[in-house]
Amino acid sequence: MPLGMILVTSDVHVRPDDPERADRFARFIESRLRLSHLREIYILGDLFDFWIGPRQPRTPAIQRVFGALEGAARQGVSVGFVPGNRDFHLDARVLEPLGIRRLGDVHHIATPAGRLCLTHGDQFCTRDAPYRITRAVIRSLPARLAWRALPPEAAMHLAGGFRSVSLRSVRRKSTATMALSNRELAKALRAGADVIICGHVHEQAHRKIEYQGAKGDLFTLAGWEEGEPHLIVERDRIFFGNGIHHDD
């Protein structure tokens, strides 16, 4: 296995009309490309605040994000995208020409630090029954076909409406409702992972998991409301960009 640094981030939530956040993310990626040992970049979903599909308008903010990631791929860095709940319509037809791999909802990699499970994380929120129902419906084949049939302007309008409803809904939910389920996390560990890395909850944290015989580590990533939250996997170490170490 070639040695090198793996960088993981999520929940950038760039809006089509948000050049500031797009530029902040792009400058972050471009600055990391100066590190000769950077080998892989993984984005664990919600890179964009919403994505309607191939017809999504390519605003300067979106082009800035894609330009930085395409530049990374051209320099030989492997760039992988795991879909989130806001941008699961972002598919290989858009990403592959840029040199970005469109991965599945769960992606496993073997590293000296252990077997990593990379995912957005919303599938672990099983206490949130309304969200689980919504997730199943909007990802169903009939819903996808109906969505693709909409004119782009209508799809953009609906996406903005869904975003507003989602934000209001999140504010009303308790912390317990939105928490990641230990039962579901344990399933991921038993499926062959030592470490789960995910976003979605917009909280930087590391904790040990011991549930129903499953043991492992969970790292959750903060969102990009402020700063440049990210995780680094390097040799046998896993740590946040601010220096929080795996073994702490």
78 within some domain: yes
Residue 9: inside a domain: yes
Q: Check pLDDT > 60 for residue 2.
A: no
Report pLDDT digits (tens) over 180-196.
999 999 999 999 999 99
Q: How many residues in the chain?
A: 248
Residue 246 lies in a domain: no
Residue 117 or residue 149, greater confidence: 117
**107 lies in a domain?**
yes
Looking at residue 248, its pLDDT comes to 40
Q: What is the DSSP string of the chain?
A: ----EEEEE----B-TT-HHHHHHHHHHHHHHTT-TTEEEEEE-S-SBS---STT----HHHHHHHHHHHHHHHTT-EEEE---SS-TT--HHHHGGGTEEE--SEEEEEETTEEEEEE-SGGG-TT-HHHHHHHHHHTSHHHHHHHHHS-HHHHHHHHHHHHHHHHHHHHHS-HHHHSPPHHHHHHHHHTT-SEEEE-SS---EEEEEEETTEEEEEEEPPPTTSS---EEEETTEEEETT--BTT-
- Pick the closest to residue 174 from 223, 211, 129 (CA basis): 129
pTM: 0.89
Domain CATH number, residue 166? 3.60.21.10
Least confident stretch, 110-119, 135-144, 197-206, 229-238: 135-144
Q: What is the pLDDT of residue 177?
A: 57
Query: pLDDT band at residue 5, thresholds of 50, 70 and 90?
Result: very high
The answer to whether residue 245 is domain-embedded is: no
pLDDT tens digits for range 38-86 = 999 999 999 999 998 888 889 999 999 999 999 999 999 999 999 999 9
Burial class, 139, CB count within 10 angstroms (exposed 0-12 / middle 13-18 / buried 19+): middle
Average pLDDT over residues 24-42: 94
The whole-number average pLDDT for the span 170-177 is 58
Residue 248 in domain: no
The pLDDT of residue 207: 95
Return the percentage of the chain with pLDDT > 90, whole number: 66
pLDDT at residue 89 tops 70: yes
Give 167's pLDDT tier (boundaries 50, 70, 90): low
In a domain, 24, yes or no: yes
Q: Is there a domain that residue 89 lies in?
A: yes
Question: Which of 60-69, 147-156, 162-171 has the largest mean confidence?
Answer: 60-69
Residue 10 has pLDDT above 90, yes or no: yes
Q: What domain count does the chain have?
A: 1
Q: What is the domain extent for residue 57?
A: 5-240
